[in-house]
Amino acid sequence: MTTAVAPTQLPPGPRIPVGLQTALFMTSALWYVPAMHRRYGDVFTLRCAPRDQRLVFINRREHIKEVFTGDPQVFHAGEGNELLRTVMGQHSVLLVDDETHLRARKLLMPAFHGAALRSYEGLVGTLAKSDVDSWRPGEPLVALDRMNALTLEIIMQVVFGVTDEERLSRLRPVVNNTVSIGALTLLSWAYPKLQKYAPWRAYMNNQRRFDELLYAEISERRRAADLEQRDDVLSRLLHVGAGDDQEHEPLSDAELRDQLVTLLLAGHETTASALSWTLHELAQNPDVQRRARRAADEGDRKYLEAVVKEAMRVHPVIDQVRRVLKEDATVAGYRLPAGTTVVPSVRFAHASGVNYPDPDAFRPERFVDGEVASNTWLPFGGGVRRCLGAGFSLMEGTIILGEILQRYTVRPDPHSLERETIRNITTVPKHKARVVLAAR
């Protein structure tokens, strides 16, 4: 006797050619995907090159829970991020699955939690204070540019552990070029044969230069006499498998390189964009800003964190996460075939009136009053794949925001009307969130 197998079925979606769908998705996702959501509802299918990928978008809380609590051996997140392999490398915690992912996560997690996380606060505060003190009241502040510069400095010093100005000056330009990921760069990641041609050749040459500098830093750090006393992320990762740690295998240079580049790409412009949107929203909402300034003066980090979280909700920097099905699975009432990419939509979940009453309003109190339900706030993903650096990002954003609000009032720039655009792999303010500062 044989057991009947339920037939698979994809949700509805547009029937236009795959090439056209791919072009719309790559160039106009902020318009195209919401338009498909309005037309087809909460669950719909898009198709994209290469290999005619089937992307099934979901956004309801109960459907997202099905994905985040599903068997990680069936719902592969690493394969969903495959496009990033060219820059992040094969060992990246974002690109591996199953036991390999569990090992990587276990080794990385201690560097981003508890006492380790608290140990970074002093240097983050020092760097934030130094930068914010240099701002000029009365002049427009291009928030995205300033936040990009500051968060990059924090990553290089707190994560990479590079504090020597000569080394920093060598790293800054190549790191900036590494994180500058446009549509053409993404195209070369999908079709690697393009990388030997201009303009892609320049990006790959820069990546090789970045790798040279990073491997040199790793090699020198391994030999550092003060390694045991250092508390930057790289040094902490070098402690794994060393000394009395007999439980773990040490990380290889290649593994360290891939995880550090992952932390750079996942934590640089994402945090910078979130802070830029935060300043934009505070300029537009003076009542919220007054309460936030009071919180900064009183050291109320809980409310400041709520402000950053609400900005991340209203303006999701990464607007989707992905899981590739390794076998047929039921999601949102559909029996989806193996190979399907399931896409929990951060944007649609955050904009849902079911999840967030009056979703267009900027109300940080949502995150103070405990009214936010699980699987509805997703800037760091969810489940066993939730971003390891979530705590670091929120700590960093909260400290920087506090330093700003203790010194300045933020006002709208009357000459700048802001809207969202996709730059690199994040959603950023198109006009860079220009605001005007007034000294308090």
What six digits make up the tokens of 273?
Answer: 């964009």
What does the pLDDT read at residue 2?
46
What does the pLDDT read at residue 96?
95
pLDDT tens by residue, 10-30:
999 999 999 999 999 988 999
Give, for 64, the enclosing helix (H) or strand (E).
helix 61-68
pLDDT tens by residue, 200-232:
888 889 999 999 999 999 999 999 999 989 999
pLDDT bucket at 5, cuts 50 / 70 / 90: low
What does the pLDDT read at residue 178?
85
Angle at 327 between CA 324 and CA 333, to 5 degrees: 80
What does the pLDDT read at residue 243?
61
Cα–Cα distance, 190 to 106 (Å, whole number) = 30
Determine what percent of the chain falls in helix, strand and coil, rounding each to the nearest 5: 55, 10, 35
Q: Is the pLDDT of residue 244 over 50?
A: yes
Under a CB-based contact definition with an 8 Å cutoff, are residues 382 and 323 in contact? Answer: no
Cα–Cα distance, 87 to 207 (Å, whole number) = 8
> Residue ranges of the alpha helices (H) in 299-338?
301-314
What six digits make up the tokens of 25?
Answer: 């998705």
> Cα separations (Å) of 29 from 17, 181, 347, 422?
16, 16, 12, 8
Residue ranges for the known binding site for heme are: 387
Angle at 343 between CA 342 and CA 348, to 5 degrees: 145
Cα–Cα distance, 73 to 100 (Å, whole number) = 11
Residue ranges for the known binding site are: 387
Mean pLDDT estimate for the chain: 92
pLDDT bucket at 198, cuts 50 / 70 / 90: confident
What does the pLDDT read at residue 415?
84
What does the pLDDT read at residue 311?
99
Percent of the chain with pLDDT over 70: 97
pLDDT tens by residue, 358-373:
999 999 999 998 779 9
**Across the strands, what pairs with 345?**
320
pLDDT bucket at 241, cuts 50 / 70 / 90: low
pLDDT tens by residue, 331-351:
999 999 999 999 999 999 999
Tell me, what amino acid is at 383? G
Q: Is the pLDDT of residue 192 over 80?
A: yes
